[in-house]
Amino acid sequence: MIALTSSRLTLIPLDHSLLKIWQQFGREAVEKELNLQPNNISLEKFYNQEMEEALVNYWLPMTHKFPLDFMWYTNWEIILTDSSCSIGGMGLAGLPDNAGTTEIGYALDQKFRGHGYAAEAVDTLARWAFQDPGLRVIRAETPCENVASQRVLETNLFRQTGQKTIACPDPLEVFTWERSR
């Protein structure tokens, strides 16, 4: 099994079979399959909806289409190593495109915020991704009111590049960010 480690975290990318378990039996079944301590992850409604949509409309189809490169198209479980407990998830938007870019996204359980875990996870996945010689830029978006998420990106050398409105169930104003190699 593929895993990335940092001082406090282990990141595990979910392959297609683990994603199917999530879809059929729920996230708790994935935790059990990975021998993790159960944790009822608490996220805002927006992030729960975003993850469920990604599971069905992106992670499952793309990990099926790209089984050898699934790590670029899936959710990576963010595991607190000491307690063997998943505290969130993150992922990339696929292999670098023709311009050498991809996007990163992350969501952390509300109970574990404010301890630097998100920044540590972003750093770990970004360092792994930049090992690909075709990757030049990682992009990200954060809601304008989510100052904590903006700090995560600033800590990881992302620079704010603009602002836009994205269409969710309700329009949402976001800042756009980039980190270059």
pLDDT at 18: 98
pLDDT at 7: 97
pLDDT at 96: 98
Chain segment 5-48, per-residue pLDDT in tens: 999 999 999 999 999 999 999 999 999 999 999 999 999 888 88
- Token digits for 169? 């169930």
State the amino acid at position 43 in one-letter form: L
Partners of residue 176 on adjacent β-strands: 141, 162
160 C-beta neighbours (distance < 10 Å), count = 14
- Residue 168 predicted with pLDDT over 80: no
d(CA 89, CA 13): 9
Chain segment 112-160, per-residue pLDDT in tens: 999 999 999 999 999 999 999 999 999 999 999 999 999 999 999 999 9
- 79: phi then psi, degrees, rounded to nearest 5: -115, 125
- Residue 181 predicted with pLDDT over 80: yes
pLDDT at 105: 96
Mean pLDDT of 160-171: 86
Chain segment 73-116, per-residue pLDDT in tens: 999 999 999 999 999 999 999 999 999 999 999 999 999 999 99
Class (C level, CATH) for 4-135 = alpha beta
CB 77 within 8 A of CB 34: yes
- Residue 167 predicted with pLDDT over 90: no
- Greatest CA separation found in the chain? 41
- Token digits for 85? 């407990």
Place of tokens 């607190």: 80
